[in-house]
Amino acid sequence: MNIEAAPQDETPNSHLLDDAEFEALEELLTSDAVPEDCMDLEMLDGYLVAVLASPQRIAPERWLPEVWSAHGEDASFGSGSRMQRAIGLVRRYYNELATTIGEPEGWEPFCYAASDGDSLRIGEEWIEGFAQGLELWSDDWDREVPEDAAQVVRDAIDTMMAPWADEAAASAADDAMRLQWLEIAVTSVGQIIGQWRPLGLAPVELLSVDEPAAPAPASAGRNEACPCGSGKKYKKCCGAPR
């Protein structure tokens, strides 16, 4: 498992963030440019894996706002330019995962190493992010695929979530056990995606990552979606008083 921000290996995959971009994303997600309850990198990783594992494409307009805050329009953003930078890096991270998940030795969960005094332990935020991403799946996703494929996916999800849902087991598990659970998650995600590919579902669709220019006050109505892509109303985002 990736523990802390390990350096990226050289690879021909042009969608991978380099070390500087990876560190910038990690820093921005905990900065004053985003709401206080913004996902950190570990939770974002799990969240995007679930989004990408869906049999139906989940549009950025649906998943991106949840990255910044669980409180929707109550979110408060800092610097518009730094927020736009964060949006661009999140979209790039989405593309990185989209081109590595399910590939042999191409992906593993990103998790922070726990330290003494931490209230959260290895993998807890990752699996919480994954569970939040699952909530964006269509309620009837299993009605639109063959039953045998749907059952494989249901079983894979149950297998990877079960250890974390057992409070007694989760409390007693040491770090080594939690890393094993994350390895099960990698296998389960591979099984899920493996059901969609023969059916032509969940194709890789990369996002534009060009960072938008800071919008002028006249570029959007105050109650319209902010041009920066945050998913918030303009008055709650780049148009908010500083």
Write the pLDDT tens digit of every residue in 169-197.
888 999 999 999 999 999 999 999 999 98
Q: Cβ(204)–Cβ(99) under 8 Å?
A: yes
Query: Which range is least confidently modeled, 44-58, 94-108, 144-158?
Result: 94-108
Report the alpha-carbon distance of residue 222 to residue 192 in Å, rounded: 41
Residue 200 reports pLDDT greater than 70: yes
Report the alpha-carbon distance of residue 67 to residue 144 in Å, rounded: 28
Report the alpha-carbon distance of residue 152 to residue 158 in Å, rounded: 10
Report the alpha-carbon distance of residue 209 to residue 91 in Å, rounded: 6
User: What domains are defined for the chain?
Assistant: 19-199 (1.20.120)
Alpha helices (H) along the chain: 19-28, 41-53, 60-68, 80-98, 124-134, 147-165, 167-172, 175-196
Whether the model clears a pTM of 0.85, i.e. scores above it, the answer is no
**Residue-wise pLDDT tens digits, 204-240:** 889 987 654 444 444 456 677 765 555 667 666 666 6
pLDDT of residue 204: 81
